[in-house]
Structures are given as structure tokens and as C-alpha cells.
Amino acid sequence: MRLLGKLGLAAAACLLGAQIAAADTTVKWLHIEVNPVQVKLWEEVARAYEASHPGVKVEMQFLENEAYKAKLPTILQSKDRPNIIYSWAGGVLKTQIEAGVLDDITDQVKGYSDSLTPAALAAFTSNGRVYGLPTALSQVGFLCNKELMAKAKVDPAGIKSWDDLLAAVKTLKAAGVTPIVVGGADKWPLHFYWTHLAVRIGGKPAFDAALKGENGGFAGETFQKSGELFKQLVDLQPFQNGFLGFKNPQAVGYFGDGKAAMTLAISTVYHLQRALAADKTGLSEDKICWFDFPVVAGGKGAPTDTLGGITGWLITKGSPKEAVDFLKYFVSKDVQTRLAAGNFIIPVVQGADAGLNNSFMKLIAANLAKSNYHQNFYDQSLGPSVGRVVNDVAAEIAGGSMSPQDAAKAIEAAWKQGN
Amino acid sequence: MGVAGETAPQALRGPSWDGRFTVLILFLPPALLLFTLFVVLPIGEAAWYSAFNWNGFGKPTNWIGFDNYRFVLETRAFWLALRNNGLIIAVSLAIQLPLALTLALMLAERFRGAVALRMLFFMPYILAEIATGLIFSFVYDGDYGLVASIWRTFGAEPLHLLASTDTAMLAVLIVIVWKYFGFHMMLFIAALQGLDKSLIEAARIDGATRSQALRHVVIPLLYPTIRLSVFFAIVGSLQLFDLVMPLTRGGPADSSNTMVSFLYNNGISRMRVGYGSAIGVILFVICVTFAFTYKRWFMRDE
């Protein structure tokens, strides 16, 4: 009976809550975050906002990453769409803007937007109009296992060029260590190689030219060369056995278990590997090393150029003004500092990086600050249809079923079909 | 057939046209409405979308006629998916159904434990496809799975069946046979138990051996069920999707895609709704053509 009583009370409370909410504004916020610690922090932020803004209710909704991408077009065109949605910027954002499903929030964030890292804000700006706010930056680079590197007598600090990397792979193999682990079943972890090589070989000019269809577009020299160099690596068989069957979380866990010397990963993996390792503790921070993606001899890209993500939030068409207000609160110096202190993000609000208390995160923040060309992941920036072809061909080169030339041609063909 | 059988048609014959007309007025509109809403419209919509280069946002505007079909047919992965569907059909017909029939012949008789064995073989079919896929992705795992431990006892290198273009489809096929043979076995058992036993007894009295009775009496009597089983097996093979996704997602390098996983990977994940619709229409045409031809040729009397 006591249980029944409690249930009744709970039901009554729900009803009461629903009645209050019905009279107020609800901001629906759709996210894809799987890290429970970070979601809990967000939840706290939302409740704090509600407390200081009576009459506004912030409701969190969740969808898994792939499901989210698949359902987004339908969600955005429904009348009951969420007000704040997750975004990787890039080609998908461009399509959403063209389809008119997003709110232009330029005027609402005027003045405030000056506090954000310009490059991050630019990713959510189109034709001078702002459609969303960035929330985090990341960098792709090599994470390494100090013990295994030492076992094979490879100095991670000495890996500066592509040839150094190839040599390191050979040395590691000779020492009986699996050089690199990668989640090949998800394909996108493999595209980091191809894309980052392109960033090193051609730099920003090559990418911009390809977008305009100049120099042979994505079938041009830069992109063929990045496939060829990637093939050089693949031919050394650097990856763990069965890498095409590994999903990314599995691969990250494999690295956390200390079974491979290196992994080319997003900077967030530095912490994520601990949660995904078999023993849930993974590699402690003193056992991990990091080095930037090696440079390519004769490449036009600067060594400081970075590949990584720019993620943030968009406001959908017809949302209440409270949605933007909450978002500004969420991407404020105070909240960003808290998220940074938890090692969740490299913040985008200027000054919030003071919250970073971890030397690795500080290093990545410094790298991003130095970078004059931060390339968003190709699979995001080229939009879903072409981006996924990039992932496909990277996996095919790695699996040996496609030549670098055909790979570059396939991307160019997809680019022409998609436009 | 007695008195009732003869009076019923006469009663219908009475107000013949009027009666039928009332029935038509009463029952046709709802059926027609439902059929139009849930069958004709979606198919028509898919056909319409397949003529556009469209990503699912707003209204389709970029009319490209039959180009999507051309793009589909030019894609190597599409032909691979088609070949894989063919392989699944072949394996279903050549391995799965004979296996199911053999087991059914053994288990249709009443003996101790027959029911338990039947349930055991039927179990994989009860399991959800997605769960089956997940379970087998662990079984096949080259480092921790069952296959890995068997392999290790022989001292061989870890083998990742799902990670190689040579073995991924084979691994998927094994799961398909494992999962669906129980269903067909149950169909056959039901049919066997419904058979007129006196025909078999008569054959035996006439001197037919067990295998002769089986070949010339039992199997022919099972033909209607076998034809139905074949129909289910082929249509099911053409639609296979939810086993492939958790196992391989069609990879590596599209080597284990089926038509439907190919549709999903391209139409939904890549937001190429027009292209995906074209694949859907092609699959629809294949299925309908098959279903009608099969009905016409093999299931005429049923």
C-alpha cells in the first residue's frame, strides 16, 4: 500500500507539474551525448536556468548519434520539433539553412557573439547570419601508449614526418607490438587518415579549390596523393587484426586496454578511453602520450593546421525567444568554464579555457589557438551524401579493395551527383 | 455437403445484383481507402521522389527524371547487394529448406522428447533479428568470441570472420540458416501431421519401402506446403535487413549488403531520399514480379 501511495503522490505531482508547465514556455532540447557524467552536468545547468527564470521549462530529449542523423530531416519538418538541436556544422547545416527550417538568431546574439572564438562562430554563420552557437572544439591527432612505445624504443616526440610514422610502425611491428588500433567498421575513424593527409598535402587552398571544382576537384592531385600515402601506411599492415570489424567504441576500448601503441583519434578520446576500457579505468594520464599528425614532405599545409570538429547547437524555426536565451546561458563563460574543468570540452567562449585544469586539454587548446586553418571533419563539412563516400573510400583503401585513384574519382563523382 | 450447401447459393442468387451491390457499397470503400492510404500512396510517393535529386528537406524541386535509376545501376555496391540477395535465396533453397524438411520428417512422429526438440530448433526463430545479430557478432568476435576460442584450441591466428570481404557474407549466411530453418521445419511438421495417414499405410501395405513411401507419397503430399515455404524463403531473403545491420552493416566494403541495407545506407544515412526511393522502387518491382509469377506458375490451385 505504501508503494501505491507513493505512486499516487508521484502521479499527482506529475499532473500538477504538467499543469504548471502547460501555462509556461517549454524549451525542448535534443542532444546526442552518451557520457552520463556530462549529461548530468547539463541537467544541472538546465535546472539552474529554470530556477533563475520562472516560467521557463527546459526539457532534454535524447537520440543516439546514427539514429539522430537518420531522423533529423523528418524531425525538423514536424510541427512538434525540438527548439535546440545538436549540429556538427558543415554541409548538413547549409542544407538546413537552405530548407528554411532554422531560425536566424543574428540579432538576438548581437554583442554576445563577440565573446566566442571567431572560427567556431564562423562555422555556424552563413552569409553573415548566425544560425546557432558553437559549444566545443576538438583536434585529431595520435594518442600513444608510453609503455608500448618505450618497449619498441620509439620516441613519440620524434615522429614529425609521414616517413617517421612509417618507420615507427615498422619498428613497433618488429618489436611484436600492434602499432595502430582503428574502428574500421564505423569507417569514419579511417577517413581521418585520408583527410588529414589532404590537409597536410594541399592545405586550405586545395580544399577550397576542390569545392569550386578547380584542379580536377576531389579527383585532383592532392586527393590522389593523400590516398597514395595512406596506402603506403596500409601496406605495412599497421592495424590490429580484424580492424574492419571493429566499431569505434571497441577500438577506443582496445587502446584503453593497452593492446596497441597508437590510435588516430579525436582529442576527447584521451579521456573516453578510460570509460571504454575493459576494466573501466583504462590508461592513466601519465601513461598516454600525444603527437600531432605528421607533416608531409613538400606539403603545402602548415604543420599547425588542424583537423577536428566544431560542434554546437542550432535553433529551429519558430522557437520561442527563451530558447535562444537559454542557449546563450548554456554557452556562457560560467557554464563553459565548468564543462572545461570537467575535461569535457575545449571551450569556445573566450576566457573559459582558464577552467582547463589538465595539461593535455591545455595543449589541445593551445594547438587550436595556434591553428590558422581548422578543417572540420570532411564527412560533416561535405554533407552526408559526399561525406559518407569519403568514409567509404577510406575504408576501401584500408581494406585494399580500391586504388587511391579510384577513391579520389569516386568522391568527385559523388560531389558532382550531390550538387 | 448436404442441404445447407445447396440452399446457401440459392439464397444468394435471389436478389443477386442488388445484394452484391449493397455488399460492394458497404465494404468496398473502407477497404479501398485503407489500400490506397497504406499501399498505393506510399508506393506512388516513392516512385515520385525517385525522380528527384532530393535530400528530404522541404519539397523536392530538382527533377532529374530517371537519373537516380541510372546512378543506382552504375553503382558496384548495388550489384553486390543484388548478388548477395541471390546468394541468400540459393542458400535458403538449397540448404535451409532440405534441412528443415529432414528435421520435420524426424520430429513429426510422436516419441519422447519430440516436442522439446521441436521447440529447441524453433527457438532461433523466436529470437528478435536484431538480438540474433548482436549475439552472433559476439560469437564471431575474433578475440573474445566462441569462434575465437575454438580457433585458439587449434593454435591458429585470431580470425575475424565479419571483418574480411571474403568471409563476411558467409558468416551472415550461416546465421540466416540457423535463424530460419526452425520456422520452415514447423510449417512442414504441421503439414505432416495433417496428412491422411491411410494413404501412407496403403502404400506400405502395397509393399513400398519406407523411403519409397516417403518419395512417392509423403513428399508429393507436402508440395503445397513446400511451395509456400519456398515463397516465404524467397520473399524473406529479398527483404533481409535486420540481421545484416548488427552483424556487418553491409560491410566491409559493401561485401555483405543486401538490397534493403544498401537502401538504408544510401537513402537514409546519406539523406539521398530520391536515390533511396529509386532503390526501393527497383526492389518493389523485383518482389512484385516474383510474387505474381510464382503465384501464377506454382501456386495456381491454392
Residue with cell string 530520391: B274
ipTM reported for the complex surpasses 0.85: no
Least confident of A294-303, A393-402, A410-419, B174-183: A410-419
Residue B5: per-residue pLDDT: 44
Is the pLDDT assigned to residue A65 strictly greater than 90? Answer: no
Closest CA to A130 of A334, A308, A307, A313: A313
- Amino acid letter at A314? L
Is the pLDDT assigned to residue A20 strictly greater than 90? Answer: no
Residue B3: per-residue pLDDT: 44
Residue ranges in chain B modelled with pLDDT below 50: 1-8, 10-11
Q: How far does CA B61 lie from the centroid of its chain? A: 36
Residue A260: per-residue pLDDT: 96
> Residue A301 and residue B123: Cα distance in Å, rounded?
59
Residue B144: per-residue pLDDT: 80
A316: phi then psi, degrees, rounded to nearest 5: -85, 160
Q: Which of residues 400-419 of A touch B (CB under 8 A)?
A: 401-402, 417-418
A388 contacts A371 by C-beta, under 8 angstroms: no
Q: How far does CA B228 lie from the centroid of its chain? A: 11
Residue A24: per-residue pLDDT: 81
> Residue B268 and residue B274: Cα distance in Å, rounded?
10
What is the rounded average pLDDT of the residues A244-256?
91
> Residue A389 and residue A407: Cα distance in Å, rounded?
9
Burial of A362 (0-12, 13-18, 19+ CB in 10 A): middle
Question: How many beta carbons lie within 10 A of that of residue B95, not counting itself?
Answer: 15
Whether A396 contacts chain B with CB within 8 A: yes
Tell me which chain A residues have a C-beta less than 8 angstroms from the C-beta of B56.
73-74
Residue B17: per-residue pLDDT: 67
Residue A9: per-residue pLDDT: 53
Contact residues for B4 (Cβ-Cβ < 8 A; gap 6+): none
CB contacts < 8 Å between A and B, how many? 87
> Residue A382 and residue A94: Cα distance in Å, rounded?
10
What is the rounded average pLDDT of the residues A146-151?
96
pLDDT, tens only, A367-377: 998 888 999 99
Residue A1: per-residue pLDDT: 42
Query: Which percentage of chain A shows pLDDT scores above 70?
Result: 94
- Amino acid letter at A86? Y
Would you call A187 and B251 a contact, using CB atoms and an 8 Å cutoff?
yes
Of B53, B253, B273, the CB nearest to A399: B253
Tell me which chain B residues have a C-beta less than 8 angstroms from the C-beta of A243.
163
Residue with cell string 527497383: B282
pLDDT, tens only, B35-94: 899 989 999 999 999 999 888 887 888 888 898 999 899 888 899 999 999 999 999 999
Is the pLDDT assigned to residue A130 strictly greater than 60? Answer: yes
> Residue A88 and residue A309: Cα distance in Å, rounded?
7
Residue A400, classed as helix, strand or coil, is coil
Please tell me which residue of chain A has the smallest CA distance to B54.
A418
A87 contacts A124 by C-beta, under 8 angstroms: yes
> Residue A294 and residue A141: Cα distance in Å, rounded?
9
> Residue A380 and residue A88: Cα distance in Å, rounded?
6
Whether A379 contacts chain B with CB within 8 A: no
What is the rounded average pLDDT of the residues A187-192?
94
Least confident of A97-111, A196-210, B7-21, B273-287: B7-21
Contact residues for A322 (Cβ-Cβ < 8 A; gap 6+): A25, A27, A53, A56
Tell me which chain A residues have a C-beta less than 8 angstroms from the C-beta of B71.
417
> Residue A309 and residue A295: Cα distance in Å, rounded?
20
Please tell me which residue of chain B has the smallest CA distance to A69.
B269
Least confident of A85-94, A170-179, B184-193: A85-94
- Highest mean pLDDT: which of A7-11, A87-91, A190-194? A190-194
Task: Give me the helix-helix angle, B146-153 and B129-139, nearest 10°.
Answer: 20
Residue A61: per-residue pLDDT: 92
Residue A338, classed as helix, strand or coil, is helix
> Residue A271 and residue B246: Cα distance in Å, rounded?
27
Task: Give me the helix-helix angle, A404-418 and A383-399, nearest 10°.
Answer: 170
What is the rounded average pLDDT of the residues A236-256?
92
Q: How far does CA B9 lie from the centroid of its chain? A: 39
Whether A96 contacts chain B with CB within 8 A: yes
What single string gives the DSSP state of each residue in A167-197? Answer: HHHHHHHHTT---B---GGGSHHHHHHHHHH
Residue B1: per-residue pLDDT: 40
What single string gives the DSSP state of each residue in A36-103? Answer: HHHHHHHHHHHHHHHHHSTTEEEEEEE--HHHHHHHHHHHHHSTT--SEEEE--HHHHHHHHHHT-B-
Residue A375: per-residue pLDDT: 92
Arithmetic mean of pLDDT over chain A: 89
Whether A88 contacts chain B with CB within 8 A: no
pTM: 0.82
Shortest distance between the Cα of B176 and any Cα of chain A, in A, equals 19
Would you call A244 and B272 a contact, using CB atoms and an 8 Å cutoff?
no
Long-range own/partner contacts, residues B99-103 (CB < 8 A, 24 or more apart): B99/B177, B99/B181, B100/B181, B100/B182, B100/B183, B100/B184, B100/B185, B100/B187, B100/B188, B100/B229, B101/B184, B101/B185, B101/B188, B101/B222, B101/B226, B103/B181, B103/B185
Question: How many beta carbons lie within 10 A of that of residue A371, not counting itself?
Answer: 19
Would you call A388 and B270 a contact, using CB atoms and an 8 Å cutoff?
yes
Burial of A53 (0-12, 13-18, 19+ CB in 10 A): middle
Closest CA to B179 of B125, B111, B138, B123: B125
Is the pLDDT assigned to residue A257 strictly greater than 90? Answer: yes
Residue with cell string 554541409: A91
Interface residues of chain B, partner chain A, Cβ below 8 Å: 53, 55-58, 71, 140-143, 157-165, 248-249, 251-254, 268-273
Tell me whether strands A125-126 and A374-376 are parallel, antiparallel or unpaired. unpaired
